[in-house]
Structure 1
Amino acid sequence: MRYQNPILRGMYPDPSVCRSGDKYYMVCSSFQYFPAVPLFESTDMVNWQQIGHCLTRKSQIDLTGTSTCGGVFAPTIREHNGRFYMVTTNDTIHRNFYVYTDDIHGEWSEPILVEQDGIDPSLFFEGDKVYFISNGYDHERGCGCIQMCEIDIATGKKKSETKPLWYGTGGRFVEAPHLYKFGGYYYLLDAEGGTEYGHMVNYVRSKSMWGPFEPFPQNPALTNRNLGGYLLQGAGHGDLLEDKHGNWWFVHLAFRQIDPWLTYHHLGRETCLVPVTWKDGWFYLGDGTSRLEYDLPDRPEVEQKLDFSRTFETLEEKKDWCFLRNYRPECYQFRKDGLRLTGMPDTLFEKGLPTMAAVRQTAFQEDISCTVTSSCREAGITIYMDELHHYDLYCTDEGTAVLRLTIGCISKEMKTVPVDGAAALHIRATAYGYSFAVRSGGTQTEMGFADTRYLSSEVAGGFTGVMIGLYAIDEAGRTADFTDLHLMHTEQR
């Protein structure tokens, strides 16, 4: 049996994983989108089903005014004595916090703040003590580091001073720390090089959790930085786990560039899975690189599900859909066969709260279609990277359909055609571009084409990914109805 990477496709970066009994749970970053921190469950480490989010209330996470790549960074999930903990950073206000739950399918607690700076926090439990790890900055040495303190898990209060543990291997942006104990050693993991083409995973070990640490002789333990022309790049930032069969795994982020020789990626950083082996007290992450396909251990009951097509009938309001910054529930009426949006004045060009329900684009080749019946000033589909980089196909209250492309400081209406009542909007995506069309009154009109590269992180900046959004803009609070949504993959991988 073989499985394909990514195992979570679309913008699901910074994965962290834990095991509870015979099941596995994973969380990922969500940045400016609400609800925050998507939560997944699996029984085999290959197929993952989203079961909810960890942060579902404004009292847990307030994303008002959050810019692209702000908000919720790099969560870690851990289970201890039957209770699950998720620790993360609200980078908009630069605070670390954690929430907990005794029911993984239920609600999570209000946040508990930890007075340690840095990002990418993690928890380590040993006996009755709990340690809080994050990246940070050693002002005495004048460089980044991995740092740790002991905390009271009931209150988040520090029980010790914060101490630098490790300064990495020399790569920039020392991040993504996790501390483990296997056998007689403590293992400290990090990611370095920036979450781009030079990304890498390194680790050290020690008999003491406070060090001094001995580096893995073959660091970097995982990187694709030298795999020129390979579609999977940016491998780094991950988490280690032993499954119920005794197999070891490493989940990590990576991204797929659009072509072997075109170094652009727009789907965001995705979650991949690498098998792990042990030798002489060191763990090896695959062959030191991350690949698009791997052999599974001899477990023929595991078959990877590769059908990712979506419709209104298969998408669930509180699991699959997300919203920019915060959520006005009165603006969204979800039904099995459609969605009614109440337009608000906020647009896609600002850091407000536009009425937009979005899902991640998960494949290069995808057919996106939806029928819109609207009285709003503007309502349609957006292919959205950020406020300054999005492609919008929409209907107006003047009886027209418009294709508008926004690339940086330039926004242009490329084509306008009349429509009569309901309009079927169609977008065909490939790795290289989007083709736009409108069908109304029995006539289909090709609206234009736009390159994917202008929505890529290499052009737009940042480190999120393209979202497919249904949106409505209106100063008078009029409504738009969306029906017949189809997001159909047209590729094998």
Structure 2
Amino acid sequence: MPGLFRNPVIPGFHPDPSICRVGDDYYLVTSSFEWFPGLPLFHSRDLVNWRQLGHVLDRPSQLDLDGMRPNGGIYAPTLRHHDGVFYVITTHVGGGGHFVVTATDPAGPWSEPHWIEGDGIDPSLFFDTDGRAWIMATRGKAEQAHDGDNEIWLREFDVAAMKPVGEEHVIWDGALKVSVWPEGPHLYRIGDWYLLLVSEGGTEADHALVVARSRSVTGPYVPNLRNPILTHRHLSRRHPIGCVGHADLVQTPAGEWWMVLLGMRTGSNLGRETFLTRVEWEDDWPVVSQVEAVATAPDLPPHPWPALPACDRFDAPDLAPHWAQLRTPREDHWSTRDGRLRLRLRPERLGDPVNPGLLARPVQDLDFAAHLSVDVPPGGEAGLALLLNDWRSLRLVVSDRGLELVRRAGEEAEEEVLARADCRPRLLGVEAHGAEHRFRYAVEPGGWQELAVVDGSFLSPSAPGDFTGVCIGPYAHGDAGDTGDTGDAERFAAFDWFEYLPLPPMPSAG
């Protein structure tokens, strides 16, 4: 008998999930926006336990994010498998539009991009049972009656030539009157029906999932009278899970249907995460279960993966796959040597539209602690960064000025020093319980002292257009200078280890 599972199944900044099954294996990709490598790719055998295999876009030749603004870059991928080949189609917003990459092994290598003509965002591929393939995406109407007045277009896709061909068909423009942002389309052939799954309402509190069907791939598509088939907008904004939508369907070998989708845990800084919920069928329409924090698991043999160590000691030549950078690196500025992570001091800094000396991983828990050790050469600044994007961040850094906690709280905001201490500690850390973030330091192991308590709610991706989630990791900045006879040790900040731990929630008062 299946047990229970806990949502989200992929916690932290992992939005817009798309899934496919190959035999007993499930593969999933999510959006990555201005982060590099792009499109994190996950593997599961039970839909509940996921491990990250790597990234689809892991070479600078595949992904140019130079100067990319926050929340630009790689949007809403679709992952499909057909005739032994994996396909990912996505949009590089601000960098060229739609493209497709392919691989025979989901762990890579993936091809260079095949750029595709077509308007809009959120492209998807559909492989029909008759051997034909189709491409679709969402775009604004030529004459919009209101903001977000979008439509879904469809064209046949020549897989060999990697290009759309033939007539264009507009197959959808929303289920509700004055519908906004119909997007994220996916098409399926289920029995005698073509099923079109679309999100609308925007990815904030009004997010919703609607469905339509047709006997012909080009339509007309008839909406389900019960639309939306999934939303939490009718629930209190205090409900633990909100903003649900942007979904993809998958069927198990035993015939069960499940849906992966994005959602947000209320009051968190974690951004849009990947959730799982059950799908049943009535009158050939999908009936989607409300997304719950705890639910009955799929009827699949449990398949947990070995847990990653809480402490990364940087003793391997390659970094663990959860580490990423802002924008595309154009030079080698980090290395793992002698069991240490070295970040080269460079003038690029966090807050500018550049590739700063930062390696970060998604925060995955409402309550967590993170610590690291750091050695900073004279003239450098290095430590721990906690950020939503260029415009909203906290940095606990050591420099010739001593120890400083620096905040930037908005696009137009200036940096401000919240707290400082006249010392150069090697050990830095933060403990977070919800919005409360306690920053601390130690000059010697075990001698932890609290520097400041900060309300981190300004890091929450709560404004429209905030598509990422909070990430954390080592940071370094400074003038590389002339090392002379001192060797490259003068040019690097060195980190012996980085530790990330989930914490139990604080007891409620009363």
TM range (shorter): over 0.9
- 1:436 pairs with 2:442: no
Please report the TM-score for the alignment, with normalisation by the length of structure 1: 0.93
Secondary structure, in 3 states, of the residue corresponding to 2:33? coil
Q: Shift of residue 464 of structure 1?
A: 0.8
Which residue is 1:60 aligned to? 62
Residues 342-385 of structure 1: CA distance to partner in whole angstroms, max 9, x if unpaired?
11101111101111111000001101101111115210111111
Which residue is 1:77 aligned to? 79
Given candidates 143, 164, 170, the residue that maps to 2:170 is: 164
Conserved? CA contact 2:46–2:303, under 8 Å: no
Conserved? CA contact 2:76–2:90, under 8 Å: yes
Q: Which moved more, 1:23-32 or 1:348-357?
A: 348-357
Residues 61-97 of structure 1: CA distance to partner in whole angstroms, max 9, x if unpaired?
1000001100000000000000000000000135101
5 Å matches for 1:385-464? 385-398=388-401, 400-408=402-410, 409-420=413-424, 423-441=426-444, 443-458=447-462, 462-464=466-468
Amino acid at match of 1:354: P
Q: Which structure 1 residue ranges, 5 or more long, are not aligned?
A: 259-264
Secondary structure, in 3 states, of the residue corresponding to 1:454? helix
CA–CA separation in structure 1 for the residues paired with 2:221 and 2:464: 39
- 1:130 pairs with 2:133: yes
Amino acid at match of 1:294: A
Amino acid at match of 2:291: S
Conserved? CA contact 2:137–2:152, under 8 Å: yes
Conserved? CA contact 2:325–2:358, under 8 Å: yes
Residues 392-441 of structure 1: CA distance to partner in whole angstroms, max 9, x if unpaired?
1011034x111111112132112221325x51101001112211011114
Conserved? CA contact 1:313–1:336, under 8 Å: no
5 Å matches for 1:7-86? 7-86=9-88
Conserved? CA contact 2:441–2:449, under 8 Å: yes
Secondary structure, in 3 states, of the residue corresponding to 1:344? coil
Q: Shift of residue 237 of structure 1?
A: 0.1
CA–CA separation in structure 1 for the residues paired with 2:356 and 2:17: 28
Secondary structure, in 3 states, of the residue corresponding to 1:330? coil
Residues 465 and 197 of structure 1, relative CA distance in 2, 3 Å threshold: same
Identity of aligned residues (%): 34
CA–CA separation in structure 2 for the residues paired with 1:7 and 1:76: 19
Which residue is 1:466 aligned to? 470
Residues 241-271 of structure 1: CA distance to partner in whole angstroms, max 9, x if unpaired?
101222110000001122xxxxxx4201000
Amino acid at match of 2:270: L
Secondary structure, in 3 states, of the residue corresponding to 1:413? strand
Which residue is 1:261 aligned to? none
Residues 27-59 of structure 1: CA distance to partner in whole angstroms, max 9, x if unpaired?
000000001000111111111111011111122
Residues 140-167 of structure 1: CA distance to partner in whole angstroms, max 9, x if unpaired?
6754111111121123322113221011
Which residue is 2:112 aligned to? 110
Which residue is 1:476 aligned to? 480
Secondary structure, in 3 states, of the residue corresponding to 1:453? helix
Secondary structure, in 3 states, of the residue corresponding to 1:352? coil
CA–CA separation in structure 1 for the residues paired with 2:271 and 2:254: 32
CA–CA separation in structure 2 for the residues paired with 1:84 and 1:60: 16
Conserved? CA contact 1:94–1:117, under 8 Å: no
Q: Shift of residue 106 of structure 1?
A: 2.1
- 1:291 pairs with 2:318: no
Given candidates 242, 248, 267, the residue that maps to 1:233 is: 242
Secondary structure, in 3 states, of the residue corresponding to 1:121? strand
5 Å matches for 1:164-243? 164-170=170-176, 171-228=179-236, 229-243=238-252
CA–CA separation in structure 2 for the residues paired with 1:213 and 1:139: 21
CA–CA separation in structure 2 for the residues paired with 1:94 and 1:141: 24
Q: Which moved more, 1:22-31 or 1:463-472?
A: 463-472
Conserved? CA contact 1:135–1:177, under 8 Å: yes
Q: Which moved more, 1:441-450 or 1:374-383?
A: 441-450
Residues 429-487 of structure 1: CA distance to partner in whole angstroms, max 9, x if unpaired?
11122110111146533211221210112269612110102110012262111123210
CA–CA separation in structure 2 for the residues paired with 1:423 and 1:344: 20
CA–CA separation in structure 2 for the residues paired with 1:6 and 1:308: 18
Residues 479 and 54 of structure 1, relative CA distance in 2, 3 Å threshold: same
- 1:146 pairs with 2:159: no
Residues 336 and 273 of structure 1, relative CA distance in 2, 3 Å threshold: farther
CA–CA separation in structure 2 for the residues paired with 1:272 and 1:232: 10
Q: Which structure 2 residue ranges, 5 or more long, are not aligned?
A: 482-490
Residues 343 and 161 of structure 1, relative CA distance in 2, 3 Å threshold: farther
Amino acid at match of 1:389: R
Residues 62 and 318 of structure 1, relative CA distance in 2, 3 Å threshold: farther
Q: Which moved more, 1:330-339 or 1:206-215?
A: 330-339
* Number of equivalent positions: 482
Which residue is 1:262 aligned to? none
Given candidates 93, 116, 128, the residue that maps to 1:91 is: 93
Amino acid at match of 1:482: F
CA–CA separation in structure 1 for the residues paired with 2:357 and 2:193: 51
5 Å matches for 1:232-311? 232-258=241-267, 265-286=268-289, 289-299=290-300, 301-302=301-302, 310-311=310-311
Residues 482 and 313 of structure 1, relative CA distance in 2, 3 Å threshold: closer
Q: Which moved more, 1:34-43 or 1:320-329?
A: 320-329
Amino acid at match of 2:417: E
Q: Shift of residue 182 of structure 1?
A: 0.4
Residues 391 and 77 of structure 1, relative CA distance in 2, 3 Å threshold: same
Residues 316-355 of structure 1: CA distance to partner in whole angstroms, max 9, x if unpaired?
6161210110125521112584311111101111101111
CA–CA separation in structure 2 for the residues paired with 1:463 and 1:104: 25
Residues 319 and 401 of structure 1, relative CA distance in 2, 3 Å threshold: same
Please report the TM-score for the alignment, with normalisation by the length of structure 2: 0.90
Conserved? CA contact 1:201–1:237, under 8 Å: yes
Conserved? CA contact 1:384–1:390, under 8 Å: yes
